[in-house]
Structure 1
Amino acid sequence: MINLKDNNSLVKKIGFLFILAILLQIPMFFINRIIDERDYSYRNMTEEIGNEWGRKQTIAG
């Protein structure tokens, strides 16, 4: 026979874990935004340095 009180406790624990998992996604969202922003800055800087120092060369002979 299944005890209703134990079943209710299990539902509460699963609900708590679900809410905790959702709440922990918020900091992960901000961390991913910071990583994307730094990746964007890195790519722009390497492109800028490449354009400044490595322009097309013309060989005339």
Structure 2
Amino acid sequence: MIGGGVAAFTGGLWTGAAVGGTVRKVIYLTEDETDGCFYRFRPNNWGDLCAGGLLEVLVAGE
């Protein structure tokens, strides 16, 4: 983790950064690509992220 709940990671299918907050119980993710997207994950169970949830994506201008 990098200061205050921000994580940078590389591997598998993803290279980017993530930040999560326990108040809103949402995780935000970015892709380290010039055409990368911005994601928001709303887990069904904050204590178990593998339990599924809603993944939303923001794609800026085409």
TM norm structure 2:
0.18
Name whichever structure is richer in strand by fraction.
Answer: 2
Higher relative contact order (CA 8 A, sep 6+): 2
Bigger Rg, structure 1 or 2? 1
Name whichever structure is richer in helix by fraction.
Answer: 1
